[in-house]
Structure 1
Amino acid sequence: MTRFLFSLLLLVSISVSAQQLKSPSEFLGYELGTQFTRHHEVVDYYEYLAESEPDRVKLTVYGKTNERRPLILAYVSSAENISNLETIRKEHLKNTEGSGNSSKAIVWLSYNVHGNESVSTEASMKTIYELLTKKSNYLENTLVIMDPCINPDGRDRYTNWYNQYKNTPFQVDPNSKEHHEGWWSGRSNHYMFDLNRDWAWLTQVESQQRLKMFNQWLPHVHVDFHEQGVNSPYYFAPAAEPYHEVITDFQRDFQTTIGRNHAKYFDANGWFYFTKEVFDLLYPSYGDTYPMYNGSIGMTYEQGGSGRAGLGIVTAIGDTLTLKDRIAHHHTTGLSTIEVSSQNAEKLNQEFKKFYQNKDFKYKSYVLKGDKDKLEALKSLLDKHEIEYGNVSSGSYKGHHYKTGRSGNMAINNNGMVVSTNQPKGTMVKVLFEPDAKLSDSLTYDITAWSLPYAYGLDAIASTSLVSGNTASDVVQNATIGVPANAYAYLFDWNSMKDARFLSALLKKGIRVRKADHPFSLEGKSFDRGTLIVTKGDNQHDSNFQASMSGIITDYQKPYTAASTGFVDSGKDFGSSYVQMITKPKVAVLSGGPTSTLRFGEIWHFFEQQLHYPLTVLDDEYANRVDLDEYSILILPDGRYGNHFSEDQLSKLKNWVRNGGKIIAMGGSIDALDGDKGFGVTKKKFEKDSSENEPQPYKDWERERMKGAITGAIFKTKVDNSNPLAYGYGPEYFSLKLGSSAYEYLDGGNAVYLEKNTDPFSGFAGIEAQQKISETLIYGVENYGRGKVIYMVDNPLFRGFWENGKLFFANALFMVD
């Protein structure tokens, strides 16, 4: 009888609470799905729920975006669970050590990573409301963590645009303006980065702040809510092949368990859906794969609609897809996910614990050596992921040698590090460091190579043995570094992005800097091309020179050599014409029109957040009216240019370059400057072997197409490091090639190029694509009158994570004159 009364009182309490709690529609003042809700209004609703239900909702602000919008998480569960939140978290994390005894399921729902895939944030409000009312029984053994909007800047960009341009009432005709966003869509964040491809690389502030919270919880289940094309039905797990080999049988099976539960609800409503297609589980930087590699059940859910759908749109088959429809679908899969997780809480905990035990990977340790700045950059990334590493001082290590692609030895005298799979994040280590990810299928959704030793320009050995390292911290406090006043010059090496940032700081401070175009030796030391030379004589005009130099050197903890003379032992003296002043460039970049937003965003982010150097953005709408003589460098980002430049525009560009201007042409923009347009670069002509021209079955067309494709593979290239574009590099460079576009060698100035052998070191490249790119240009410099044209066929700034490519871009700015 007592138990009956308690249950009755509980039901009455929940019923009263549900009656008092405002739904999203009641709170916002309009029916959910009839308008797009701005981010601050979404935050207001979540704050209202936390204030109204403090026992069952805990809200936290975990960061801010570039445009100062708050990033929030809502913890939703029973009153008992919320009161014991920290205990639940700690007990859950003990599972990674094999000692946990947790009984709660932890489900993390992430909404709106792509800003114009805007339905998911709307659905999140309906989902949390129903969790607190009709579905509160799910919360007895389940903690739900909700991020209602991963990308507030992009979402508000889309929402504000749509509210400006929509018809009243909304127009379902897909030709109407409200279904056609402009060049800068709401998909990306402030810097036009795709946040769904940044989980592993952490280049963006949203990703960095979110991962701190994610690592505090490592949920059992993580869902990333998305949208796709208007005419596509709903997609949910199980995912498509290829699955990365580290994904466990349970992770695969539980995706199917959840998918079948979704299907039950979709079938009952007559809604269309598909599974096991398109969206695979390989590339490690997605919102489904990254959680997978940390023991979660990671899933992507895709609703048809995206930025084109607006409040309603007519589809290709004549149906009308409304925002209300889209909300209903995401709301259904969200609650279904929580339902299945609640039903399987015990199994989820058992398998999560099992995931972190008994790792038996082929390679037990990854031993790395190289430039100290590059090692420090890698360590910084590993710290963000809470991946452990150690320092190694000396010895010879045997295993798979990354530079040769086969078994070999690598000696370390000093400045080495080791990362082992024998740690809680061991699976993530294997995925990020493995020389070549195993592909079960070549039809993939993204790049197939990303190995960090290649990305950071480090020599490495993958060892089948466990290599121990010194885990003692080698971090030292910054010390103030004095600059001797009696030195003739100060010499600084040029090997890394840290060096480029240091040069940027000097130039912005007005300090004059020279560069060495030949190796030289002085006072018993050897110096390479690109060495920065700051002389006292060049800076006599600056009364604060000594103080400024000391401050910048201290800020960057930059080692230097103080030279007492400009008379070198070998090479060129400091007064030689081969030791030129670095001109402080005034840089402009083209935006809009033919340029890719993502590729433009990489350049914008590089200047503002990595190099810290001023950049002028010239939009295509008015760029032709701008006097280019005000600028020394014009960057043309990758994109689809075709015949974008008129004859008059090309003539102006040519004259500007002849008179000393410098163009940096990247990716597709090179087509706008090729030989037919008056510059010296030529696209490679490739003809397929006629013996392979027999008709192929229609069912095989997609796989036949892959013969000519490169899905983000790593190639070993040859470097001419006597070319200023390649200062700071060795004789080889591992380039991430994203496609099969190919250009012939230049007549001169080939700084980086592919030789005849084009087998990829990592990732997939079709046989026809390999033949096409054989003996072609990667990076080069063309002299054109008194100016230069720099060609970058491969993208050294791709997604901000290919660290070893960035110095090429810095060379293009500062070293090529």
Structure 2
Amino acid sequence: MTKFIRYFLLLLLTNQAIAQSITPDEYLGFPLGSKFAFHSQITDYINTLQARNPDRMKITRYGTTNEGRPLMVAFIASPENMSKLNAIRENHLKSIGMLPGKPDASVPPIVWLSYNVHGNESVSANTSMKVVYELLNKNNALTQEFLKNMVIMIDPCINPDGYERYSQWYNRVQNVTPDVTPFALEHDEPWPGGRFNHYLFDLNRDWAWQTQKETQERIVLYNQWMPHFHADFHEMGPARSYYFPPAAKPYNKDVTAWQRQFNELIGEYCRKYFDKNNWAYFTKNDYDLFYPSYGDTWPTANGAIGVTYEQGGGGRAGLALEREDEHDTLTLKNRIDHHYATSLATLEAVLSQKDKVVSEFIKFHQDAINAPIGNFKTYVIKAKGNEERIRSFGSWMEKQGFTYGIAGKSISTKGTELTTVTEQAIKIENNDLLISAYQPKSNLLRILFDPKPVLEDSVTYDVTSWGLAYVFGLKAYGLKEKLVPAAYQPAKIENPIPASSPYAYIANWSEVEDAVFLADLLKNGILVKTSNVPFEMDKISYSAGTLIITKKGNENVAFDKLVTSLATKHHIQLMPVKTGYVSSGPDFGNDNVVAIKAPKIVAVSGDGISPTAFGGVWHFFEQQIKYPVTIVSAARLASLPWNEIDVLILPDGRYGDIINDKHLEALQNWVKNGGKIIAMERATEAFMNKPGFALSKKFSDKKKDADFFKKFGEQQREEASDSSPGSMFQITLDPTHPLAFGCSKEYFTIVRDAYEREYLKDGWNVGYLTEDGYKAGFVGTKMTGKLKNTLIMGVQDLGRGHVVYLMDDPVFRSMLYNGKILFSNAVFR
């Protein structure tokens, strides 16, 4: 009997072990790395492991993508730590001041590993299965040590929609035996590729701005956990080897000595694995820690150790790719092995310094609360006249995890105006926003407000200026003194139906929500007019662009109820008026008061078009102002029914093979009959120096002799000298033109290229760069001259229609508040 019991217990334990340890190969039905698993297979596998290991694993579904796929994080820890997971979280947040009270126990390091932020860098999501399996593998002594000493968070796929776009395509076109030929179909991913999310945004550039659904939902969870370490797994071109830290310069100056030190330590642990296996790698090149909106830099600004890993491969690599220069064939299995190795190296490095990882993190945040570094101890945002913009800004700050309030009283002091970086006398008023630097996220706050980030090295590959005063178009000041904010409660806007129906309702035009309101009115069939010049009524001044919604022309709708309810919905304060007569300016029947048509809008996508530029336009209409836009393929452009279209949007792209002279003639005739073209960035080249179009190129000086004798070894810096990866400039606007209505007096934009356009001789030069337009960020010496006295925004009147030339993308990454207002003008006015 005793023998039977022992045998039964042994059999039971053996079956449990088998049940707990199902491998990716066993679950998928094919060897990991022999094909791309679909996203549903990856999530099902991880859910299966959780069901079999409930004492060591918990899954949190933190959101869904635009296409409805789950976003999830797997928490993995020892049974002891898993049983007190929420207590660990609360004690951790208390220790850094993000929850009230004092911790009653110490906490282990919290490590978050993020895979596949770029969908076609698909080795990452496949690697995540192996990582989760080995963390739960009781026979792996190393991983069990990790579980005893830390809480590990695994996000198997940050960008499921992009990943599935790639894996579905690849699994359809691949040969039974992977074709290693570089020019084979399976290495030629079609437009728009899987890199981006549903709206073709780069989620790795969205951490600070949180414009995308996936980012917003992920950062809610991030702020609930505030991990000590965050690793971001990527791929790069297939000809390259593997990158791991130390990171390249430039580092943001606010990266701490401890974070820099740990960056070096990570490299040491990664090298052990790569040297042992004779794998190629590089460090200290290309991948810097400067722009604060990446998956390594945003966590770093939040006190974590943030790192990026880059495997050679990407969408072109497929399952196997012959690399002549390397004398090898790069396989998906190779790539999985490399990412798996750096995943383990990461955890080993954290384990080796587990106590200091925690103590330094606490110190980082306690210092921020008690003695924040930097010149400014308080930030002031002027509120008067910017109420809706303040509401939007406050919502963004809450997503970041910042605390703020209002002044609560009048204060006279001095402060540094953050767009001119000059000290000025300032009168703080009761409702002005105050943001104290004495808070846990003070370092992130300081970095994002920084009007002139210090760049220690010119070779960087992304935006080099991002100050919040520029981005939101707000009048902001940095104060050296500490001011304590009072509680802030946004004013509730209501628009009751007047006792007697008014002649018209007036609404201001200066905020993005005003454009959302306009779009909703037009969708509901409301006739909306606008004044093209300023006017005054009842001693109130109204700017050009003000919306005028008259009862006349809206007799067929429940006018008062519909207009007031839509205004309240969108936080718009209406002004009912009893007459169309004004004390100054044009009466409402004047020719300067014009109707805004509900336009039929078409945007071009497809081969040759920048996916992210198109995505910015698409997201603007669908998710921001919620107005219908029809998407067409560039290949269909010549055969569109032009009589049904009002506005044609040409996002940045190469239009040489899309728009020929015959197409231009047809487009010109359509515009003359009342159509409107909005050509953005490189799309403007299709109209440059063409008959009937007013756009022409400025010609630079001929190359100097020195250009012919540049040094090969300095080619990277030579290229940088003729670039602007993303620097802040002030555009000089003509505020009287409808394209500029509602934009702040100071219009700032992120310049990424010099298009060198002449001022329009037959048209309106609405926005242009002067000699002193530069504000902040890196601009190469050769680029500097090109960014002076050049057209940025112009409008050509052509017959009854218009051509809008935008050499700058106003909806770039959905970052710039004033840009969205200007783009709304381009569409509706």
TM-score by length of 1: 0.95
What corresponds to 2:6 in structure 1?
none
How does 1:169-568 map onto structure 2 within 5 Å? 169-317=177-325, 318-356=327-365, 357=367, 358-370=371-383, 371-392=386-407, 394-413=410-429, 415-470=431-486, 472-476=487-491, 479=494, 481-542=496-557, 544-568=558-582
Q: SS where residue 776 of structure 2 aligns?
A: coil
Q: SS where residue 35 of structure 1 aligns?
A: coil
What corresponds to 1:113 in structure 2?
117
What corresponds to 2:672 in structure 1?
658
What corresponds to 2:597 in structure 1?
583
Bigger drift between 402-411 and 55-64 goes to 402-411
Contact 2:122 2:315 (8 Å CA) reproduced: yes
Bigger drift between 423-432 and 96-105 goes to 96-105
Q: Does 1:80 align with 2:93?
A: no
What corresponds to 2:60 in structure 1?
60
| Aligned equivalents of 2:744, 2:373: Cα separation in 1 | 35
Write the letter of the residue equivalent to 1:347: K
| Aligned equivalents of 1:19, 1:789: Cα separation in 2 | 66
| Aligned equivalents of 2:464, 2:589: Cα separation in 1 | 49
Contact 1:484 1:562 (8 Å CA) reproduced: no
| Aligned equivalents of 2:20, 2:770: Cα separation in 1 | 72
What corresponds to 2:48 in structure 1?
48
What corresponds to 1:4 in structure 2?
none
Where in structure 1 are there 5+ consecutive unaligned residues? 1-8
**Do the aligned partners of residues 528 and 484 (structure 1) sit closer, same or farther apart at CA in structure 2, a change above 3 Å counting?**
farther
**Do the aligned partners of residues 241 and 342 (structure 1) sit closer, same or farther apart at CA in structure 2, a change above 3 Å counting?**
same
**Do the aligned partners of residues 528 and 353 (structure 1) sit closer, same or farther apart at CA in structure 2, a change above 3 Å counting?**
same
Write the letter of the residue equivalent to 1:535: T
**Identity over aligned pairs, percent:** 43
Contact 1:481 1:553 (8 Å CA) reproduced: no
**Do the aligned partners of residues 103 and 506 (structure 1) sit closer, same or farther apart at CA in structure 2, a change above 3 Å counting?**
closer
| Aligned equivalents of 2:148, 2:452: Cα separation in 1 | 44
Q: SS where residue 113 of structure 2 aligns?
A: strand
Report how far residue 659 of structure 1 moved. 1.2
Contact 1:368 1:459 (8 Å CA) reproduced: yes
Write the letter of the residue equivalent to 1:130: E
Aligned mate of 1:102, from 106, 111, 132: 106
| Aligned equivalents of 2:228, 2:700: Cα separation in 1 | 50
Write the letter of the residue equivalent to 1:261: Y
Write the letter of the residue equivalent to 1:110: S
What corresponds to 1:768 in structure 2?
782
Report how far residue 17 of structure 1 moved. 2.6
Contact 2:493 2:573 (8 Å CA) reproduced: no
| Aligned equivalents of 2:50, 2:656: Cα separation in 1 | 53
**Do the aligned partners of residues 425 and 677 (structure 1) sit closer, same or farther apart at CA in structure 2, a change above 3 Å counting?**
farther
Per-residue deviation, residues 12-34 of structure 1 (Å, max 9, x unmatched): 97996367520011111111111
Per-residue deviation, residues 322-360 of structure 1 (Å, max 9, x unmatched): 111011000111011112212221110111112111432
Write the letter of the residue equivalent to 1:55: D
| Aligned equivalents of 1:394, 1:734: Cα separation in 2 | 29
| Aligned equivalents of 1:309, 1:557: Cα separation in 2 | 50
Contact 2:20 2:53 (8 Å CA) reproduced: no
Q: SS where residue 595 of structure 2 aligns?
A: coil
What corresponds to 2:658 in structure 1?
644
Report how far residue 701 of structure 1 moved. 2.8
Q: Does 1:132 align with 2:136?
A: yes
| Aligned equivalents of 1:695, 1:154: Cα separation in 2 | 44
Where in structure 2 are there 5+ consecutive unaligned residues? 1-8
Contact 1:311 1:323 (8 Å CA) reproduced: yes
Per-residue deviation, residues 70-98 of structure 1 (Å, max 9, x unmatched): 11110001010100101111122233139
Report how far residue 691 of structure 1 moved. 7.2
Per-residue deviation, residues 377-423 of structure 1 (Å, max 9, x unmatched): 11110001110112125334423223433222333445421222210
Write the letter of the residue equivalent to 2:542: F
Write the letter of the residue equivalent to 1:337: T
What corresponds to 1:570 in structure 2?
584
**Do the aligned partners of residues 394 and 794 (structure 1) sit closer, same or farther apart at CA in structure 2, a change above 3 Å counting?**
farther
Contact 1:719 1:730 (8 Å CA) reproduced: no
Report how far residue 465 of structure 1 moved. 2.1
TM-score by length of 2: 0.94
How does 1:700-779 map onto structure 2 within 5 Å? 700-747=714-761, 748-758=763-773, 760-779=774-793
Q: How many residues align?
A: 803
Report how far residue 643 of structure 1 moved. 5.1
Q: SS where residue 796 of structure 1 aligns?
A: coil
Report how far residue 137 of structure 1 moved. 2.1
Q: CA RMSD in A?
A: 1.9
Contact 1:745 1:776 (8 Å CA) reproduced: yes
